[in-house]
Amino acid sequence: MSNMKLSLEEIKANYEAKASQLKRRIIVCGGTGCVANGSLNVRDAFEKELKDLNSNVVLELDEHDCSDATYISKSGCQGFCQMGPLVHIEPEHILYVKVKVEDVREIVEKTILKGEIIERLLYHNPKTGEVGKGNAEIPFYNRQKRVVLANCMIEPSSVEEYIAKGGYFGARNAVTKMTPAEVCQTAIDAGLRGRGGGGFPTGLKWKFTLASQNDKKYVICNGDEGDPGAFMDRSVMEGNPHSVIEGMMIAAKAIGADEGYVYVRAEYPLAVERMRNACKDAEVAGLLGDNLFGTDFSFRLNIMEGAGAFVCGEETALIASIEGKRGMPNPKPPFPAQKGLWGKPTVINNVETLASVPGIFLNGAENYRSVGTEKSPGTKTFALTGHVANTGLIEVPFGTTLREIVYNIGGGVTNNAGQITNDNFKAVQIGGPSGGCLTPDMLDLPLDFDSLKSVGAMVGSGGLVVMNNQTCIVKIARFFMQFTQNESCGKCVPCREGTKQMLALLDDIIEGRADRKTLELLEETAKAVQMASLCGLGKTAPNPVLSTLRYFRDEYEAHVLKKVCPTGECKALARPEIDPEKCKGCTACARKCPVGAISGTVKQPHVIDADKCIKCGACKAACKFNAIIGL
């Protein structure tokens, strides 16, 4: 017998009946970024202002009287992080950005009571000056295809709202109508590929695990997202935790598992809290536990916090961590599908992969394939950051071009002062420390697993860092190498020592100690580390170096052969200059120079002899006109 108190249809109908009685809904973004900017204080202010007006206010749709009420709810991450805190007002479809507590009274008095729109709180497009009333009028939103992120607008603590949006119906289809082999085949037919970076077919991974005979199997959700600037998995767990649980249920049915683990890094306290609460709510609703949907299928979940080691994103290191061991990778084979957690067959999928699964089993494999490309169906979330006007969390179909993301969704490339200068694009680092650089020649490259592989990059977890022409590409490569060198677990020599040597070589380059042999040695070491390392961390650690050497070798050679950093970011290689348009000929710089490297006459632009200059900075400190550059 099922332990469900109500059927999914009954829960859905009850929720919709209560929601239909509402007069209005105010949705305050409850993602980490907006919470950090005070969005929960904004929510509390709305509650106070409306209650002071004796309005019927509800904070959850339970047994309260919802007739003519205003429902104040929070959401998960709405994506447009730089514009937070974000407040949606429904049914008017109004989006207010950068809302502060002191704005709430005005919103209540003008928008809630009178229906007036406060233009200063709307989104203003920095490129066109156009004002967007809501998501449909804002390019950042209307040029996306939000599937995994679509339900991040719901109240994350409400299992009823998730069900009302179609949640757990896909799991019921898989559990009650399909055999494990059919579940695997459906995922294969849909073409779902792992969103953790490698893009391995999900259904095939399930099929391999199903073929392993054992009386105990496990499903693990890899939520150990560690790439710098990546926050896709965190946002899904915070905003739509039930989609992850439902995806794990379906994966468990596919392989014959009855237990699962959600492995979340401890630096994501909000994700941990919401995943735990979602598991409890699912258990209360009879969606986790024994005899689910009236069948003999049972499934239970455990939430485990990881210590934050980047290497634990590798599946065998993650397994070791769950088992209470130090998170270090093991050689494969055997693969987790044959011998995983506690020696039992185990399937590991990342958060975004699992959150993509329910839609396939609700709407069918063919429907899923209608978006994306033939070999990379579906959508992909990206964390768009760097020198771009609109930063945040986005979701687009596979096959979308880099140009569409950077110039339309992202709003264009910015200079170091934050101004949009669309001719200033230099590169995009995709895939974080495991990925590679994409250049202006690749702006029209369709982004998918295979096209990126062909240019020496990879989807990775989904980080997209946009860089303008003022960015030193060598320093970027060094930043990622520093990260991977710090995160190397030290188990294998190629990664432990190779990344250290590569970092030292990059330091030599940016500090002016390198010669042509340094470049040759850097490339040779990178290839050796890539080939000989034990796990994915070491094998992909050289990617940023190799891709930047491939596409920006002239910049490396300028550092090495000319001892000049073209962008001036490497202080040891910057050529000091005096801007003749700013210089007033006051002679203050020349008087302060300890080595006599500055010459010129009074009231005329001065010049610096770069060969004499010791780059002490005395001239820059003395100049009142900011005319000294390159120091």
Overall size of the chain counted in residues:
631
Which structure tokens are listed for 262? 């959600």
CB 327 within 8 A of CB 309: yes
Helix/strand/coil percentages in the chain, nearest 5: 45, 15, 40
Calpha distance 282→279 (Å, rounded): 5
Give phi and psi for 264, each to the nearest 5: -120, 135
Q: What does DSSP say about strands 300-306 and 379-386: parallel, antiparallel, or unpaired?
A: unpaired
Query: Any residues with CB less than 8 A from the CB of 495 and at least 6 apart, and which?
Result: 488, 489, 529, 533, 534, 535, 537, 538, 541
Nearest to 456 by CA among 375, 380, 552: 552
Q: Architecture of 474-560 per CATH?
A: Up-down Bundle (1.20)
Task: Give the pLDDT score at 573.
Answer: 86
Degrees to nearest 5, angle at CA 186 with 184 and 192: 90
Which structure tokens are listed for 389? 């006007």
CB atoms within 10 A of CB 116: 12
Long-range contacts of the stretch 323-330 (C-beta < 8 A, 24+): 326/489, 327/489, 328/489, 328/491, 329/489, 329/491, 329/534, 329/535, 329/536, 329/537
CB 154 within 8 A of CB 161: yes
Instruction: Read off the amino acid at residue 147.
Output: V
**Looking at the predicted structure, is the pLDDT value of residue 197 above 90?**
no
User: Mean pLDDT throughout 326-338?
Assistant: 89
Instruction: Read off the amino acid at residue 610.
Output: A
Fold match between domain 8-137 and domain 379-471: no
What SS3 class is residue 132? Answer: strand
Instruction: Read off the amino acid at residue 559.
Output: H
DSSP letters, 598-623, are EE--TTS--EE-TTT-----HHHHH-
Kindly tell me the sign of the dihedral angle through the C-alpha atoms of 263, 269, 274, 279.
positive
User: Mean pLDDT throughout 282-306?
Assistant: 95
What is the crossing angle of helices 516-532 and 553-560, to 10°?
A: 130
**Looking at the predicted structure, is the pLDDT value of residue 249 above 70?**
yes
**Looking at the predicted structure, is the pLDDT value of residue 371 above 90?**
yes
Per the listing, tokens 């002016």 go with 512
**Spans of all domains in the chain:** 8-137, 166-369, 379-471, 474-560, 575-629
Which structure tokens are listed for 352? 């975004």
DSSP state letter for 379: E
For domain 379-471, the CATH class is alpha beta
User: Mean pLDDT throughout 94-120?
Assistant: 96
Calpha distance 89→65 (Å, rounded): 20
Q: How confident is the model at residue 489 (pLDDT cuts 50, 70, 90)?
A: confident
CB 145 within 8 A of CB 379: yes
Q: How confident is the model at residue 1 (pLDDT cuts 50, 70, 90)?
A: very low
Query: Any residues with CB less than 8 A from the CB of 7 and at least 6 apart, and which?
Result: none
Q: How confident is the model at residue 417 (pLDDT cuts 50, 70, 90)?
A: confident
- The predicted-structure confidence for 500-522, as pLDDT tens digits, reads as follows 999 999 999 999 999 999 999 99
pLDDT > 90 fraction of the chain, expressed in percent and rounded: 75
CB 404 within 8 A of CB 396: yes
Hey, which CATH number is domain 575-629, 3.90.1200.10, 3.40.605.10, 3.30.70.20, 3.30.1300.10? 3.30.70.20
DSSP state letter for 388: B
Calpha distance 558→555 (Å, rounded): 5
CB atoms within 10 A of CB 515: 12
Kindly tell me the sign of the dihedral angle through the C-alpha atoms of 227, 230, 231, 233.
negative
Task: Give the pLDDT score at 20.
Answer: 92
pLDDT > 70 fraction of the chain, expressed in percent and rounded: 99
CB 425 within 8 A of CB 468: yes
Residue 623, CB-side half-sphere exposure with 13 Å CA sphere: 24
Domain 166-369 falls in which CATH fold?
Rossmann fold (3.40.50)
CB atoms within 10 A of CB 5: 10
Radius of gyration, CA atoms only, the chain: 27
Calpha distance 83→86 (Å, rounded): 7
Task: Give the pLDDT score at 85.
Answer: 96
User: Mean pLDDT throughout 141-145?
Assistant: 95
Task: Give the pLDDT score at 63.
Answer: 66
User: Mean pLDDT throughout 166-174?
Assistant: 97
CB 389 within 8 A of CB 126: yes
CB 499 within 8 A of CB 529: yes
- Is CATH 3.40.630.10 correct for 8-137? no
DSSP letters, 157-177, are T-HHHHHHTTTTHHHHHHHHH
Instruction: Read off the amino acid at residue 162.
Output: Y
pTM for this predicted structure: 0.89
Give phi and psi for 59, each to the nearest 5: -105, -10
What SS3 class is residue 263? Answer: strand
CB 79 within 8 A of CB 394: yes
User: Mean pLDDT throughout 438-447?
Assistant: 92
- The predicted-structure confidence for 535-592, as pLDDT tens digits, reads as follows 888 888 899 899 999 999 999 999 998 888 888 888 888 778 888 999 999 999 999 9
